[in-house]
Amino acid sequence: MDSRKARWIALSASSAVALAILCFGIARLQRPMDNTVKINVGERPKPPPRAASSSATASTLDPVKPEEWTFHLSPDEAETFFAMSLNPRVVYDPWMAIREVENEVYEFVWTEHPKRKFEFRTNGLGCREDHDLDVPPRDLRVLVAGDSHTCGLCSNAESFTNRLEDLIAVGRPGKTVEALNTGLGGYHFYNYLGALYRFRDFAPQVFVCAIFGGNDFSEYFFVYLHLTDGDWPILLPKFEKRRQLALELSSDAMGQGLAELDLLRNFEHLREPIADHALQMCLEMQRVARRQGTEVVFLYIPSPFELHWPEPVERYTQTRNTLELTDADFSLVSAVSDRLLAGLRERGAATVDLRPIFASEPVPPYWRTDFHLNVRGHELAARALEPVVAALLKVD
């Protein structure tokens, strides 16, 4: 593995694991004043070389075993990109690279929450649910994949997945409903596709893929380059140092979002390829889902930096200044997401864009201390999804 690939992997792994640990509430790592998480990340193992035939644009139809899947990552590769060893609350998963440990319950102190805390709970599948799946299954089933915003810095009942379940149940009296939250901090397009295979026995009528503009594009792009033995960008020392300093200041959703802006600014020639590779992965999700008899909805959760944020917290200003970002740079993520959403709509995919909904709020619906969706953000996402998902649900 060449040195530029190693440096990119080290940076992407450090930010991904920081976000993952933040989402899973390791309380002893929290700073008492601002509820953020800071960790030290050493060198990550080098991934083993992939076979020359590997391709992220074609896959084995309906692989039965994970090893038969073109996109399969080995435990060593999963460690490289998701740094599992640094987070005791995640384990290797052959379809999704990593997943949350099953049957966990603990209290997470979060001072911005109305109750100043919330309960983190997983079920026997390692999903953010209070209960295991029913046997026989419920009448209407929705599978939701996403990153830490979907996983939720809130109680399970407050997540947009479970709020969506409640809304659908109200509109479908006499029918039982299950919306399964498979979200995890550090996930991106790769993991979302993996969810379709891991939970195929759940037989969902609708699959919701929640795309977060803050870091999904860049993090998937580097996994894509690895899967295809692509040419990695040359990381200049100034860029590397600046990005590392920013992630040390904000090793959470805030820092990741700003670092993605810095990437898009410095590598203009990569903006369209990043969007196009994400689009191809989304179309692969749609193909796999339809072969399983599942309809797909793509939910776009904007980065807070795509919205006007009045009176930002000091750490945001410090991180932005460290990266030397200007006002003009904040349109770059929207340009990438616009290209992705336009490509999906041209192909008839159902999409829900939360940008206009969030922009109409007096204050963007994210926690101020780290820029993850707050309780209001989850409520808005559920209400925007409900009519689209309900229209696709099959009722016998």
Give the CATH number of the domain where residue 371 resides: 3.40.50.1110
Find out whether 204 and 143 touch, Cβ atoms under 8 Å: yes
Range among 11-15, 95-99, 225-229 with highest mean pLDDT value: 95-99
Q: Higher pLDDT residue, 16 or 3?
A: 3
Whole-number Å distance between alpha carbons of 188 and 267: 20
- pTM passes above 0.75: yes
Q: Which string of b and e fits 96-123 if b means at least 16 CB within 10 Å?
A: bbbbbeeeeeeebebebbeeeebebbbb
**Lowest-pLDDT choice from 21-35, 307-321, 340-354:** 21-35
Q: Is residue 122 part of a domain?
A: no
Q: Higher pLDDT residue, 177 or 62?
A: 177
Whether 309 has a pLDDT exceeding 60, the answer reads yes
Query: Residue 70 — pLDDT band, cuts 50, 70, 90?
Result: confident
Whole-number Å distance between alpha carbons of 240 and 213: 22
Q: Is residue 207 part of a domain?
A: yes
Q: Is residue 380 part of a domain?
A: yes
Query: Residue 10 — pLDDT band, cuts 50, 70, 90?
Result: low
Q: Is residue 208 part of a domain?
A: yes
Q: Is residue 184 part of a domain?
A: yes
Whole-number Å distance between alpha carbons of 385 and 272: 28
> Could you give the number of structural domains in the chain?
1
Whether 306 has a pLDDT exceeding 80, the answer reads yes
Q: Is residue 268 part of a domain?
A: yes
Long-range contacts of 104-108 (CB under 8 A, 24+ apart): 106/25, 106/27, 108/25, 108/27, 108/153
Length of the chain: 396
Q: Is residue 179 part of a domain?
A: yes
Q: Is residue 46 part of a domain?
A: no
Domain containing 199: what range? 128-392
Whole-number Å distance between alpha carbons of 98 and 87: 11
